Structures are given as C-alpha cells and as structure tokens.
Amino acid sequence: MDNEVSMTPPAPTPSRALATEAVHAGRDDLASLGVHAPPIDLSTTYPSYDSRDEAMRIDAFATTGSLPDGPPVYARLDNPTTGRFETALARLEGTDSAVAFASGMAALTAVLLARASQGLRHVVAVRPLYGCSDHLLGAGLLGTEVTWTDPAGIADAIRPDTGLVMVETPANPTLAEVDIRAVAHACGTVPLLVDNTFATPVLQRPVEHGARIVLHSATKYLGGHGDVMGGVVACDEEFAATLRQVRFATGGVLHPLAGYLLLRGLSTLPVRVRAASTSAAELVRRLTADPRIARVHYPRIGGAMISFEVYGDPHRVISGVRLITPAVSLGSVDSLI
C-alpha cells in the first residue's frame, strides 16, 4: 500500500492533553494520506525488486533492531498498522518508543531475554505480581534468577548481574501500591520495569517517576472490549531496538488486526478509564457499608479494579452473580469477577 510507507508518523511538536493525544497519536498523517480512519495492512510480505538492498535492510535490522528505512519488508520485522499503535502508546506513556507483542507475557518474555542476552540474568522483583509473571520468574523457564523482596530491600538485593527490577502497581490481585519514585531511586542504574496494566497512562505514567520500562497487557484496558489480545513495552529507543531483535528472532509479533483494534481502543481509553473508575468508587462505597464484607481493597490512585474479602465462602459469591460475569481477565466494558 503506497499510503503506508511511513512506519512511524511524525509526532506533532506542541504537547497535547492526554485525552487529545489518545485520539490523535499514531494518526497524525491520515489527512495527508486522504483518509480519516487508519488503514489496516494485512500483508505478510512486500514486493521488492532490489534484492540486494532488501537483504541489506533485513541484515541491518537483525543486527541493530532499528526500524528499516523505506517501505515495509516482512511482517515479522514490523507492520504499518501495528506501528501506529506503538507510536500512540509511546506518546501516551511519554517514552521514545514502544514495541508490541502477541500478548503481555510475550512482552515480558522479550524483556527478560533482552536483558539475558547482555549477560544480565538476575531479576529483583517485588510481590505481589500477576500470577503468570510470578510463575515465569520463579520457575526460571528462561534461565533467569529472581530475588523476591519488598520495596525496602531492593537496593540490597541488586547484584552486578541484575538486569531488571520489576514491580506492579497497583498489583494483581491485591491492588497493593508501591512508591515508584522511591523504588526507582533504590534501583540506581538498574532499569526499573513497572507493570502499568491496572493503572494505564490515564492514572499514572511511571516514566515520570523514574521508571525506564513500562509493561502492559494490552488485552486489558488498552483494548478495552475483551476481543483482542496483545502486549506492549514502552521504553527508550535503545532498548526498543533490542526488543525488536528479540521479537524478530522469536516471532512473538502482534497481528495487524489486533494492532488496529488496540489503536482504536486507545482513542477511548481516557473516557473508559475515568467512567469505570467512577463506577468502581461508588461500588467501593457500597461494599464498605455492607456487613457481609470483611475488607475492601482499592488503590489510592483510583481505577476500575476492586478487591474485597467476604465473611464465609467466597465461592458462593461468585456462583451467585447474575449481571457480573465470572471469568478471568479484566478491562472490558462490562464487569468480571
């Protein structure tokens, strides 16, 4: 598609409000292309009549991870539609770049492999973390070693081979929060990764508090409708280049249609998160006043997630719901438990 040569539409110079950015980021070139909605490019490969130049571009990408100049080459390197989502998410999180993956766990796997490729296999992590993240680190499936600690013990847990400090705030499932700025200070020169899935950039932007890597399960609030799976890492361009190399080699690419749906999801993200947060705050008020509820957990920064403890058997609560759907995951327009 001739109108999809540019992989990263130029960002406007003036700063824009988050709600405005959510609508326009990744779409700044649409008017010049003569379209209003972002095109969907489903091609897996692209014509090239200069085989020598194409081979050089692929080799350069495999070596450096930098996006190749000129038209697209092959979908495992990059894709114009997915590139729009990456551009938009980076703008919302306030980072240089973002790299999208097939799922949140694929994104975390790429981060761990990228650091391990530099001989930095040790991870310092603060519990609680999302269960699958906890399992991936604890099981050592990627050859990594983890030291579990609380925020106060981070500095002492760091070793010469520590490649990453990981926190999730608010955390899944307890909604525990950590002071990102204090944790970033304790990390020193070691990159801090913050899983920002629950908060989204609407409620917090971790890089503004010292984090260097931001992780999202895009399946949740970024998509927002329970119909697309994906993951994304927002970071500086240097680390993004390494992540692209890992993605190219391991194949955890995001499908272009998923990239389109996630870009569309971002356009309503501020509206959805704020509306859902308002509903959640009201539900917290009602649960707190209910004598059948033992304890309610709700983050100080707000959000659409609630955790609560009941007197008696919690399974009876789940089996008795009618309007709310008992299912895993979160972040859609309806309520799950």
Which positions are annotated as active-site residues? 76, 130, 195, 220
Structure tokens at 233: 């890492």
In our burial notation (b when 16+ CB lie closer than 10 A, e otherwise), range 212-242 reads bbbbbbbbbbbbbebebbbbbbbbeeebbbb
Tokens of 192: 């801090």
Q: Which two tokens stand for residue 314?
A: 């919690």
Distance CA 30, CA 36 (A): 6
Secondary element (H or E) of residue 269: helix 269-288
Give the start-end residues of each E strand in the chain.
Answer: 97-101, 122-126, 145-149, 162-168, 192-195, 213-217, 231-235, 293-297, 307-310
Coil, helix or strand for 234?
Answer: strand
Contact 247, 78 (CB under 8 A): no
Q: Which of 180, 182, 36, 22 is nearest to 90 (CA)?
A: 22
Give the chain's end-to-end CA distance (angstroms, integer).
43
